[in-house]
Structure 1
Amino acid sequence: MSDAELMSIGSFAQRCGLTASALRFYADSGSLLPAEVDPVTGYRFYREDQLAKAVLLRRLREIGMSLPSVNSALGADVIDAIRTVDDHVTTVMREAESVRQQAAAITTTLAERTRLQIARLSGPVLASAIEQILTATTDDPDIAVLGGVHVEAGPGVLTLTASDRYRLSTRTLVSNVDSAAAWAATVNGDDLRQSLGDLRRTSSVSVDVTDHGMNLRLTGRGDHHCRFVSEPFPDYRSMLATLPAVTSRVEVPTATLLHALEQRSAARIWLCSNDKYLVVRDVHGDRSSDIELPARVDGPTIDVWFEMTTLYPAISTAVGTDVLLDFRGREQPATVRSADRGDLTTLVMPVAAPRDTPTEGHTP
């Protein structure tokens, strides 16, 4: 092999992203041997075709894989190498969860003197409420509060609220702590999401708060610590208080409406009505493909557009066999709630009709 085909350790290090000292270490450990070593100077040289292996080695080490595991992956076929990486990720996640739980126990102990109990209720009931409310969150790195759940407590009640700006969901639960003082804060949505598995399997949960976060104390299981979100939550109560009056109300079976929405592949959904039906209409206004759902309609006919990603979760989380849709016009939020239970309410923002939509004959 000619000298022109070899790279010095410095050049090779620059191209693969490893330092020269790291390359010497990996050569001494047998992970990545140089192509040649000058017998006089001891200088190490590498080939072009060793770059891929060096880059893979670096990436495996960057995810915290041990050197023996790295060597195993480098020497294996593709399937076994992938399995080695997956096993490592599983181990890391298991250890991270263990650390999180231990840290939650430590912080709970440290904050014990300032602990305040704000609610006590059924674990499965709280899990269901959290799942419903989390559908109205969004992961926005610029507005962290949109990924959180606003928790409010008072004597005998616990209210959960979330909003992604296009939708707002709120649910009130009955608590067994009648002496709870008024309290409110926004809690990290991911922390709540990680508690769901244990909550579903816990008969009772006590909700305690400190200056540093909210703790879910699960009977027979470890505690879950939920961090606070520092940004202020939107003043949703003022917004609700200033909503225009409802002009039309539609009551329709929840499962029937969900099935109709699932038959539409468009990003936007067009809802119309007459005095007997709620109609899920084709995006291009082709009435031959209308899906008519028998419904109880009070008030004027409706003609409103929604984003599927906004409307469908609001319907799917509604409690009960029938859902109530309250409309306030084409540009005002619509309210989605159960026809027989009022503890979960979701507001859904409509959207403008596409420009190529027919402007006449919108309603059935």
Structure 2
Amino acid sequence: MPHSELMPIGVFARRSGLTPSALRFYADSGLLSPATVHPVTGYRSYGADQVAKATVLRQLRELDMPLPAVEAVLAAGPGEASRLVDEHVARVLREAETARRKAVVIKSSLTDVPSLPIAALKGPVFADAVEQVLTATVREPGMPVLAGLRIEVSEEAVTLTATDRYRLSTRTLVPAVPPLRTWAGTVDGEELRASAAVVRRCATVRMDSSPHGILLRVADREDQHCRLLGDGQFPDHRQMLAALREVTTRTTVSKALLLRSLEDHPGERIGLHVTDGTVALLAAGDGHAANRIPATGTGPPLRIWFELTTLYPAVSTALGPDVMLDLRGDDQPVTIRSADCGDFTTLAMPVKPEHTI
């Protein structure tokens, strides 16, 4: 290799993101040998064509991949290397989940507070409700509770609620047996989604409260623990629901037709012109109708605008073949629900008309 293409270990370390000591370690391990070693001084030099390999080596070690696995990845072709990386990540995730569950047991033993039964629900129904409501969550560093699902247990029902502050989804479930006590808490959404995949296959799931979260207990399976999100308060959704104005315009439209029109809509914002016989989809800028969908409704005509990312999920998660939109004005939350099943409801916030022009 020409001398001009070689670089000393310090320069190569900066290029690859590895420290000189790490490079010496990987050279001794046989993973990344220097291009040349000075016979007298022992100084090591590396070639520019080794930077890519060194970078991948560093990235694999950042995944906590052991040296034998790193060596196998570096020696493999692209397809096999990708498979080996996926296998390692899956193993790390399994180990992390095992550690989390063991930590729950340890923390419970430290508090000496037993878990308390709250309610029993049908497993498939609970799992479906979790998936539906969690579409309204969002990850926001300043408000971790927005990534959670609020569970409220009353004497008669279990209510699940989530919000990203632009949508609010809620579903009320009838327990398999009357709840044993009232309870409320905001539960980690990702852990609840993973647990829902387990309880979906079980006829009945029992919900217990623990000092740090809830336990979902099913027959012949390991308990599923979902931690409470204690940082910050969940938005006061009950006050918002109580403050909703009276519905002025109501329309019922085919869910499939509305979704298809939303999917074909070219812009990021979309307007709805609601009349007693149609729902017209409006294009931002000129406000002209891009598509018209047959509908039935009552009340005065109304134009209202939404972000597509707000409206589409609200419609797509509605139950049944037809969706009902309850409108209160162009600047008020719209209630979106099934036309014949009222236990799952989403509120969607519109945008101001002048923002669309």
TM-score between both structures, scaled by the size of structure 1: 0.89
Between 310-319 and 258-267, the greater mean CA deviation after superposition:
258-267
Deviation at 1:4, TM superposition (A): 6.1
Q: Note the aligned Cα RMSD (angstroms).
A: 2.4
Using the alignment, how far apart are the partners of 1:213 and 1:72 within structure 2? 41
Provide the rounded CA distance (Å) in 2 between the counterparts of 1:322 and 1:108: 46
Deviation larger for 175-184 or 214-223:
175-184
**How much has 1:214 moved relative to structure 2?**
1.2
CA distance in 1, matches of 2:91, 2:171: 37
Match of 2:154 in 1: 154
1:278 matched to which residue of 2? 279
Aligned to 2:297: 297
Cα pair distance change 1:113/1:142, threshold 3 Å: closer
Verify: 1:128 aligned to 2:147, yes or no: no
Between the aligned residues of both structures, percent identity stands at 51
Report deviation, 1:34: 1.9
The Cα of 1:330 is off from its aligned counterpart by 0.5
Shift of 1:12: 3.0
Deviation string for 1:62-113 (max 9, x for gaps)? Answer: 1111211212222233333333323322332333334444445555666674
Cross-structure match for 1:265? 266
Q: Is the contact made by 2:122 and 2:176 (CA closer than 8 Å) also made in structure 1?
A: no
CA contact (8 A) 2:257 2:293 kept: no
Q: 184-193 or 261-270: which moved more?
A: 261-270
> Given that residues 268 and 307 in structure 1 are in contact (C-alpha distance below 8 angstroms), is that contact kept between their aligned partners in structure 2?
yes
What does 1:204-353 align with in structure 2 at a 5 Å threshold? 204-230=204-230, 231-283=232-284, 284-287=286-289, 289-293=290-294, 295-353=295-353
| Correspondences of 1:3-14 after superposition (within 5 Å) | 6-14=6-14
1:204 shift after superposition: 1.0
Contact map agreement 2:251 2:276 (CA 8 A) in 1: no
For residue 277 of structure 1, report the CA deviation from its aligned partner: 2.2
Rounded to whole Å, the distance in 2 between the matches of 1:220 and 1:328 is: 49
Bigger mean CA offset, 124-133 vs 147-156:
147-156
The 1-side partners of 2:139 and 2:56 are apart by 31
| Offset, 1:14 | 3.6
8 A contact 1:334–1:350 mirrored in 2: yes
| Structure 2 counterpart SS, 1:51 | helix
Give the distance between the partners of 2:336 and 2:349, measured in 1 at CA: 11
Partner of 1:23: 23
What is the one-letter code of the residue matched to 1:266? G
How far residue 48 of structure 1 moved from its aligned partner, in angstroms, is 3.0
Structure 2 residue runs without a partner (length 5+):
none
Q: What is the letter of the counterpart of residue 232 of structure 1? A: Q
- DSSP-derived class of the 1:195 partner: helix
CA-CA distance at 1:125 after TM superposition: 0.4
With over 3 angstroms needed to count, the CA separation of the structure-2 counterparts of 1:355 and 1:164, relative to structure 1, is: closer
Matches within 5 A, 1:173-192: 173-192=173-192
What letter is aligned with 1:85? Answer: V
Contact 2:261 2:291 in 1 (8 A): no
- In the other structure, the counterpart of 2:196 is 196
Cα distance in 2 between the residues matched to 1:281 and 1:344: 27
8 Å contact from structure 1 (residues 119, 157) kept in 2: no
Q: 1:166 maps to which residue?
A: 166
What does the per-residue CA deviation read over 1:311-360, in whole Å, with 9 as the maximum and x for residues that have no partner?
12112222223322111001011111222222112111111235675xxx
Secondary structure in 2 matching 1:31: coil
Q: Aligned partners of 2:274, 2:4: CA distance in 1, in Å?
A: 77
For residue 159 of structure 1, what is the amino acid of its counterpart? T
In the superposition, relative to structure 1, how do residues 313 and 108 fare at CA in structure 2: closer, same or farther (>3 Å)? farther
Counterpart-to-counterpart distance in 1, 2:197 and 2:330:
40
> Counterpart of 2:64 in 1: which secondary structure?
coil
Whole-angstrom distance in 2 between the partners of 1:91 and 1:194: 16
**1:201-240 deviation digits (Å, cap 9, x = unpaired):** 1111111112211111122222221111121111111111
Deviations 1:35-86 (A, max 9, x none): 2223334333333332222222111111111211212222233333333323
Distance 1:286 1:246 in 2: 26
Aligned residues: 355
Report what 1:45 is aligned to.
45
> Are the aligned partners of 2:278 and 2:292 in contact in 1 as well (CA < 8 Å)?
no
Equivalent-residue separation in structure 1 for 2:35 and 2:323 (angstroms): 71
Contact 1:251 1:323 in 2 (8 A): yes
Residue identity opposite 1:95 in structure 2: E
Query: Cα distance, 1:28 vs. partner?
Result: 1.6
CA offsets 1:244-280 (integer angstroms, 9 cap, x no match): 1111111223333223323323222221122222223
Distance between the aligned counterparts of 1:299 and 1:148, measured in 2?
36
Secondary structure of the 1:85 match is: helix
The SS at the match of 2:215 is strand
- Residues 120, 179 of structure 2: 8 Å contact kept: no
Equivalent residue of 1:244, what SS?
coil
Whether the 8 Å contact between 2:205 and 2:217 is mirrored in structure 1 is yes
8 Å Cα contact 1:153-1:180 kept in structure 2: no
Q: Give me the whole-angstrom Cα distance separating, in 2, the residues matched to 1:245 and 1:333.
A: 11
- Specify every segment of 5 or more residues in structure 1 that has no aligned partner in the other structure, as ranges: 358-364
Report the counterpart of residue 69 of structure 1 in structure 2: 69
